[in-house]
Structure formats: C-alpha cells, structure tokens
C-alpha cells in the first residue's frame, strides 16, 4: 500500500503484556481500498467470533483473538500446530469514520469494514458549458 494509506501497522511498536503466559502470533492481513471504505481481511484460524476482541482506541485499531486448545483423543503422533493468541495493532487515519467501523468473522477470517468520512470520499464534479 502507498505511504499515505489510512491504516498503518504498528504492532512492532507495542509490547505484549508480559503477564500473559501465552504465545502471540501476528495474523496475516490484506487491506483493500474502495471509494467508500477500507476493508481489512485478517487470517485468524481456529478463532470463534466470540473470542475476537476488536477495539478502536486513541486512533488505533487493536485486534486480539483468543485461540482455545483443540480437544483431541488419543496419542499425539505429530504436533506442528502451536496454540496461542493473535495480536496486531493498526494506526487509523482521521479519514476513517471510527463510529461506523464494523466487523464479522467467518471460517477463520476476520473482515473489518473501515468506512471513510464523507469529506474523504472522492466525488464527481459536474462540468458546465454552453
């Protein structure tokens, strides 16, 4: 994305609480822009919608998604799946209407809609002539 984007990743500048004894993973994210909004797609496999905490606070969108341990029976033969939570923070530009941010989670993908304020949307200007 271009440097003047309305969303910037700031996970690297935030430290995770040391009191949590959990692993944290950075979810893979795609962000698309249209005239009306930005749409953020975050991969959070194994997370149920009720286990997603999405907050907008002081110009930042904070994503924390809890992953619960998988129930399994029998003896584990191969264990590559790591348990832990997803965490990522984005700076949100003032061109986004924070009061209308909306999100849904389905099949391990969190979709966040970040609508632009009316003043930031492009508009067609009619050209008059004789």
Q: Which CATH architecture has domain 7-70+82-120?
A: Sandwich (2.60)
Whether the pLDDT of residue 122 is over 90: the answer is: no
For the entire predicted model, the pTM comes to 0.76
* pLDDT value at residue 34: 94
- The residue that leads in pLDDT, 14 or 58, is 58
Q: How far is CA 36 from CA 1, 8, 9, 86, in A?
A: 17, 18, 21, 28
90 contacts 10 by C-beta, under 8 angstroms: yes
Report the run of H or E that residue 37 belongs to, with start and end.
strand 37-43
């Amino acid at each position: 994305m271009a440097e003047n984007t309305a969303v910037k990743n700031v996970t690297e500048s935030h430290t995770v609480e040391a009191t949590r004894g959990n692993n944290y993973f950075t979810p893979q994210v795609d962000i698309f822009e249209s005239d009306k909004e930005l749409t953020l797609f975050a991969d959070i496999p194994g997370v149920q919608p009720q286990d997603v905490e999405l907050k907008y606070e002081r110009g930042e969108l904070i994503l924390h998604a809890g992953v619960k341990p998988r129930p399994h029976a029998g003896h584990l033969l191969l264990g590559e799946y790591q348990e832990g939570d997803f965490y990522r923070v984005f700076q949100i530009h003032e061109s986004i209407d924070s009061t209308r941010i909306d999100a849904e989670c389905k099949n391990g993908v969190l979709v966040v809609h970040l609508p632009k304020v009316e003043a930031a949307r492009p508009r067609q200007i009619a050209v008059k002539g004789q």
